[in-house]
């Protein structure tokens, strides 16, 4: 059992980091103090369509900010140290200054290491098309707009951060004064327990720490009726790969069936411009209503559905879908969300950040950007406790007073955007001008997002 004496100095416990990014999973786990013997069963049986482990950026960004200010913390992650992270691309835009604020200036010039294509200069806004005809229907501008790889972002943020892997949080308890007045976090299996001053749940959409805060029932994500296939391991021949980047080098989105089916085709990893056969792509298809995840009986069912819908699309989508092999497992995800409202943060000792605090649909590309703002604001709040004698309760209340309404508004706006662009209330004349911006409102009557 790992624990600290009650008199120990201020220490933050962060839940949810990411796994190191090996490109190929080794056949045996590395030796690790908390690793299970190879004969042990896996901690979780893999979900049918999502067999890879999911790493996180919120906890790591927070850890980097605390490191910079010499604030003690410990970071726990349920993934084994050898897990291959599930990768996808994310639009990073207004969140960039928040991300930079938690990092030392010396690494700012290296941010392009996280981009899906470090060679691209981002001179053209991303493209939207009529999926059937190929007509360009618009371009989506964004402040500081780049597309980052989740895997690369985890690798970048993890530099110099110590992560305790294979620690699955089971519960959190607030300690009485006689025990030091902090928090105790218990881990599943033989993971023991740790004591700290406060705990930050950065443990993703299905956060365990959120359950502790609001109860299991209220913590549950809501199914929005949207479903998505998000396949990020597609590789092609050199000729096919060039077609895929012909409309826009990074991201092309198309709609078909009066907007019912959206197809997002994106570069995910472009290691060298000279070797298109090594380029990796993300294929994402989203829709509202039937079929739902549970309606697919096999991975073959999913491939057939994907191919049939993609057959109505023109290039570059058609070439992308045709290049996907019969035996591919295309992950199907339920489009869920969770919207925050004020919780009892136990005197500031338990709080949330990132997807744990506000889980939103990806249709406005806001989750990571908000997560970076959470990390930056939480670093500021905790530094006030450390260095300015601000009570923990006051500092965390200030953080939550900003984060909770911002997160709740974005959860709603992302759902409205999904609904108006491809849901039951879809409008073909929906204008995307401010669709990536922060501090905007949806005008459903006029069919646009306004500043
Ligand atoms: C398809 C898709 C596209 C997206 N596109 C964009 C985009 O364009 N722009 C944008 O801004 N955002 C986008 N997002 C959202 C973005 O991915 C997230 O908001 C962002 O990665 C922050 O995630 P997180 O670190 O909070 O959570 P996660 O990435 O889920 O990390 C949580 C971590 O906690 C760990 N964990 C979970 N439970 C436990 C436990 N009990 N004990 C210990 N550890 C635990 C997990 O293993 C994981 O490593 C997209 C999301 C999806 C799904």
Domains of the chain plus CATH, in order, are 12-114+149-221+339-415 (3.50.50.60), 126-147+222-336 (3.30.9.60)
How much is the ipTM here? 0.99
pLDDT of residue 388 exceeding 70, the answer is yes
pLDDT in tens, 335-363: 999 999 999 999 999 999 999 999 999 99
pLDDT of residue 193 exceeding 60, the answer is yes
| Contact of 19 with 85, CB cutoff 8 Å | yes
pLDDT of residue 2 exceeding 90, the answer is no
Cis peptide before 76 (omega within 30 of 0): no
Bridge partners, 136 (sequence order)? 129
| 168 pocket-lining for ligand 1 (C-beta < 6 Å) | yes
pLDDT value of position 50: 23
| 15 pocket-lining for ligand 1 (C-beta < 6 Å) | yes
| 254 pocket-lining for ligand 1 (C-beta < 6 Å) | no
Considering only residues 4 and 301, tell me which one the structure prediction assigns the higher pLDDT: 301
- How close is the Cα of 155 to the center of ligand 1, in Å? 14
What tokens appear for 261 in the block?
Answer: 């089916």
Could you tell which of 206, 355, 364, 370 is best to mutate to test the pocket of ligand 1, judged by most ligand atoms within 8 Å of the CB?
A: 355
* Percent of the chain whose predicted confidence (pLDDT) is above 70: 89
**The total number of residues written for the chain in this structure:** 451
| 76 pocket-lining for ligand 1 (C-beta < 6 Å) | yes
pLDDT value of position 46: 28
Q: Which range among 67-71, 260-264, 299-303, 418-422 shows the weakest confidence by mean pLDDT?
A: 418-422
| 56 pocket-lining for ligand 1 (C-beta < 6 Å) | yes
pLDDT of residue 180 exceeding 80, the answer is yes
Q: Sign of the CA dihedral 213, 216, 221, 222?
A: negative
pLDDT value of position 139: 87
| 180 pocket-lining for ligand 1 (C-beta < 6 Å) | no
pLDDT in tens, 37-93: 223 322 223 222 222 333 489 999 999 999 999 999 999 999 877 776 678 999 999
pLDDT of residue 257 exceeding 50, the answer is yes
């Amino acid at each position: 059992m790992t624990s600290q004496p009650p008199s120990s100095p201020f220490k933050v416990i962060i839940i949810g980091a990411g796994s190191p990014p090996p490109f190929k999973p080794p056949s045996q786990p590395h030796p690790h103090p908390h690793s299970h013997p190879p004969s042990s069963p896996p901690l979780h049986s893999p979900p049918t369509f999502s067999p890879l482990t999911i790493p996180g950026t919120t906890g790591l960004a927070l850890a980097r900010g605390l490191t910079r200010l010499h604030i003690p913390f410990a970071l726990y992650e349920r993934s084994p140290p050898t897990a291959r992270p599930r990768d996808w691309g994310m639009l990073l835009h207004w969140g960039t200054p928040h991300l930079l604020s938690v990092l030392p200036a010396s690494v700012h010039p290296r941010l392009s290491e996280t981009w899906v294509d470090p060679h691209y200069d981002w001179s053209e806004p991303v493209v939207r098309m009529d999926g059937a005809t190929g007509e360009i229907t618009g371009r989506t501008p964004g402040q500081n707009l780049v597309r980052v790889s989740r895997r690369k972002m985890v690798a970048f943020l993890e530099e110099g951060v110590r992560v305790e892997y294979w620690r699955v949080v089971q519960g959190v308890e607030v300690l009485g004064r006689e025990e030091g007045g902090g928090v105790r976090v218990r881990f599943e299996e033989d993971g023991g327990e740790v004591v700290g001053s406060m705990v930050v749940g950065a443990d993703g959409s299905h956060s365990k720490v959120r359950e502790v805060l609001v109860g299991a029932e209220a913590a549950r994500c809501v199914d929005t009726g949207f479903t998505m296939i998000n396949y990020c391991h597609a590789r092609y021949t050199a000729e096919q790969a060039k077609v895929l980047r012909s409309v826009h080098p990074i991201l092309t989105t198309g709609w078909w069936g009066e907007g019912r089916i959206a197809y997002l085709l994106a570069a995910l990893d472009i290691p060298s411009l000279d070797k298109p056969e090594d380029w990796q792509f993300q294929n994402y298809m989203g829709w509202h209503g039937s079929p739902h995840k549970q309606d697919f009986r096999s991975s073959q069912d999913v491939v057939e559905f994907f191919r049939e819908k993609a057959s109505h699309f023109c290039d570059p989508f058609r070439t992308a879908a045709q290049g996907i092999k019969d035996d591919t497992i295309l992950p199907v995800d339920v489009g869920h969300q969770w919207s925050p409202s004020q919780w009892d943060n136990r005197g500031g000792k338990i709080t949330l950040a990132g997807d744990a605090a506000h889980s939103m649909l990806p249709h406005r590309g806001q989750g990571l950007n908000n997560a970076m703002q959470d990390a930056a604001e939480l670093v500021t709040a905790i530094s006030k406790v450390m260095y300015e004698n601000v009570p923990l309760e006051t500092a965390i209340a200030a953080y939550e007073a900003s984060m909770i309404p911002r997160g709740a508004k974005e959860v709603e706006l992302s759902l409205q955007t999904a609904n108006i662009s491809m849901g039951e209330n879809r409008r073909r004349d929906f204008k995307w001008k401010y669709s990536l911006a922060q501090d905007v409102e949806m005008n459903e009557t006029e069919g646009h997002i306004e500043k």
